[in-house]
Structure 1
Amino acid sequence: MQRHRTLTSAIQGFSQILQPKASTLLSSAKSSSKGLKTFMAEAAPAAKKQKMDQKIIGTHNGTFHCDEALAVYLLRQTKAYRDAGLKRSRDPAVLDSCDIVVDVGAVYDESKQRFDHHQRGFEEVFGHGFSTKLSSAGLVYKHFGKEIIASTTGSVVGDSKVTTLWLKLYKEFIEAIDAIDNGISQFWSQGPPKYRNRTDLSSRVGWLNPPWNKSVDSQEVDELFLKASKLTGEEFMGRLDYYANAWLPARDLIISGLSTRQNVDPSGKIVLFEQFAPWKEHLFELEAEQEIEEDSKPVYIIYPDETAANWRIQAVPVSPESFESRKALPEKWRGLRDDELSKESGIDGGIFVHASGFIGGNKTKEGALSLAKLALTM
């Protein structure tokens, strides 16, 4: 009876693979060990074919790094490799059996799905103004990044916003991984850095490797690699989520404000935002893209504060990181508050003007606009 139950249980497992024949064979097998043998003989090729159909990603074994950990994660976000298995080896025969290979093999050839960057003569860069040599992360992102972004955001690959996010994610996330893996210094001079940074993503992946004096087998290292791949992937997806759902909408607001600024003031030097959004980075990038002449660039930004109860007027800096303004608020307003500011400016609702003149506040949008227009003439 026990043997009968064991045979039946085994047959039921195989029946999921060969559904058309399963019920017939299962019935005969229940009463005969010969039936079980027949069923297993017919099921085995199907099970083998199912396993052979799975695509395989290959990368090197041993110590792992941020670039191939992220490359593997990114590939598993694509249609072609979503359910792919993984082989970690340096054996050419093993790698030749893989459908795609990253960070090993000394070959970069998209047509062969081979993406290594260690070979002599490799100088591939992302392009679009970026000159950092690519690692396996950058190579995979260059070829598959738009697809990943489009599928994640529910867009199409040809959407201009996908391209914008593709470039943004490379600049803010992928490029540093490429540079670190290729040993490219972050500094122009040869002097030592002012401080050490070991909290970046590449360093955190490095810390996941087993310590030098701990004996581990290859299976344990492979499990740690999967942990590293998940870590890099979650950070990438988190960053993509932010850029797609916060950074990009802010960019749209800044584009709209720039295009309608002549309606705010004929000079075009005042930009009005009806809601608060981080604007500084976008403004400088868009000014460059739109090739706005120096004498036509905005000097004041008007927007509601985070509570939307009051309004701010902020002078545009000469560069994103600078404390110097294109045109600071008038010196005689600086450091004044409330009624004293209103009296000096002649504009009701004054709240403050910073001592450096880079920002001020008013209780109403009309008051903030009046301050900006008056400041242009002073």
Structure 2
Amino acid sequence: MSAPEDLKRKQPLVIGTHSGTFHCDEALALFMLKRLEEFQSAEIIRTRDTAKLAECDVVVDVGGEYDFSKLRFDHHQRGFEETFDEKHSIKLSSAGLIYKHYGKRVVAKELGLPLEDPKTETLYQKIYDSFIEALDGNDNGVPQYPSDVEAAYTDHTHLPSRVSRLNPWWNQIDIDVDARFAKAMELAGADFLDRIHFLGKAWLPARDIVLRALESRNQVDPSGRILRLESPCPWKEHLFDLEEDLGIPEDARPLYAIFPDDRAGQWRIQGVPLQVDSFELRKALPEPWRGYRDEELSEKSGVPGGVFVHHSGFIGGNATESGALDMAKKAVSF
């Protein structure tokens, strides 16, 4: 039964996973399945009894078999080499397997997007890269930092460790492990849904703001090296992606971004980093301005309305948009 129509005709369904110590990957995998109409009423059984597993409609993270047509989703067996796509090298865990087959539907449902909307595809890929891949790497024993060159995956949640702590201690008895597993599903699912809604409602809308800023950068300054963002937003990752998509040469890419700080009623100027989470910059604000504030900064920079420049030169501020733009122009040619 691989088609949702077949599953709907056979209700309630039974989903099987392994008993004993549970892990983040199967907890999240089952949570994802339960978000979809055909699985939401399914019973979950935790067992290693092969006869009972054979009777299940879906089997996840146990059974030694991966076959989507039979709804078998294990990844422990010898010879399993499935990855998310050809761009990824980390083998999938059960979370990755379920996400690969059903994740796009879950994302679309949660955000009310059409399945074929390009935004759905963008988010489907982004959620794998920023959330699911770390769970696959962790469950498969892939070191996050296999070398001093580049991380194999990013993990900002430590979700596997948090799920693991829900397992009974070695010396606890009379613990309802299935009830603990239900809590693990809730914990993993809450993080997953939070990621979906943040990326869909905050991260993705920022892309349009950055695109407009890139397309109008030569009107802001003929150099094209200053990005004027109409609103503060998560802009760095979008900038790097769009620069590649638009084919902007490296020697023509923005060096600084200016944007309003609505809480302070001021404007900020920030150097564009070499990487998203790096303080290494394409070009820092001028050294003679660094560490100064207010009138001293205005005197040093020659731009009225100076507020501050961080001692490292990665960010500064001015009381007005025109002042921030003048600082950026001076910094470009400094």
Matches within 5 A, 1:227-266: 227-266=183-222
Pairing 1:99–2:99 present? no
Note if contact 1:334-1:353 (Cα within 8 Å) is conserved in structure 2. Answer: yes
Task: Give me the identity figure in percent.
Answer: 54
CA-CA distance at 1:153 after TM superposition: 0.1
CA-CA distance at 1:343 after TM superposition: 3.5
Structure 2 residue ranges without an equivalent (≥5):
1-7, 149-154
CA-CA distance at 1:274 after TM superposition: 1.7
Partner-residue secondary structure (3-state), 1:127: coil
CA-CA distance at 1:59 after TM superposition: 1.0
State the AA in 2 paired with 1:148.
V
Distance in 2 (CA, whole Å) between partners of 1:366 and 1:128 is 47
Note if contact 1:210-1:216 (Cα within 8 Å) is conserved in structure 2. Answer: no
Partner-residue secondary structure (3-state), 2:234: coil
Max Rg structure: 1
Distance in 2 (CA, whole Å) between partners of 1:367 and 1:326 is 21
Residues 226-247 of structure 1, C-alpha deviations (whole Å, 9 max, x = no match): 1211111111111212111222
Pairing 1:326–2:282 present? yes
Distance in 1 (CA, whole Å) between partners of 2:169 and 2:285 is 57
State the AA in 2 paired with 1:348.
P
Aligned equivalent of 1:142, options 88, 100, 110: 100
Partner residue in 1 for 2:258: 302
Matches within 5 A, 1:178-257: 178-189=136-147, 200-216=158-174, 220-257=176-213
Pairing 1:375–2:331 present? yes
CA-CA distance at 1:328 after TM superposition: 2.1
Note if contact 1:165-1:243 (Cα within 8 Å) is conserved in structure 2. Answer: yes
Note if contact 2:303-2:323 (Cα within 8 Å) is conserved in structure 1. Answer: yes
Q: Kindly tell me: are residues 356 and 203 of structure 1, through their superposed partners in 2, closer, same or farther at Cα, counting changes over 3 Å?
A: closer
Matches within 5 A, 1:102-113: 102-113=60-71
Q: Kindly tell me: are residues 325 and 62 of structure 1, through their superposed partners in 2, closer, same or farther at Cα, counting changes over 3 Å?
A: closer
Partner residue in 1 for 2:122: 164
Q: Kindly tell me: are residues 59 and 342 of structure 1, through their superposed partners in 2, closer, same or farther at Cα, counting changes over 3 Å?
A: same
Matches within 5 A, 1:55-94: 55-94=13-52
Aligned residues: 320
Deviates more, 1:67-76 or 1:346-355: 346-355
Note if contact 2:113-2:120 (Cα within 8 Å) is conserved in structure 1. Answer: yes
Residues 286-322 of structure 1, C-alpha deviations (whole Å, 9 max, x = no match): 3234342111110010111241511111121223333
Partner residue in 2 for 1:350: 306
Q: Which has the higher contact order (CA 8 A, sep 6+)?
A: 2
Distance in 1 (CA, whole Å) between partners of 2:172 and 2:83 is 37
Note if contact 2:15-2:59 (Cα within 8 Å) is conserved in structure 1. Answer: yes
CA-CA distance at 1:77 after TM superposition: 0.7
- TM-score w.r.t. structure 1 length? 0.79
Distance in 1 (CA, whole Å) between partners of 2:55 and 2:246 is 49
Pairing 1:272–2:228 present? yes
Pairing 1:283–2:268 present? no
CA-CA distance at 1:345 after TM superposition: 3.4
CA-CA distance at 1:373 after TM superposition: 1.7
Structure 1 residue ranges without an equivalent (≥5):
1-49, 191-196
Distance in 1 (CA, whole Å) between partners of 2:36 and 2:137 is 24
Residues 88-141 of structure 1, C-alpha deviations (whole Å, 9 max, x = no match): 222222222222111011111111111100111001111262211111010000
Where in structure 1 do 4 or more consecutive aligned residues deviate above 6 Å? none
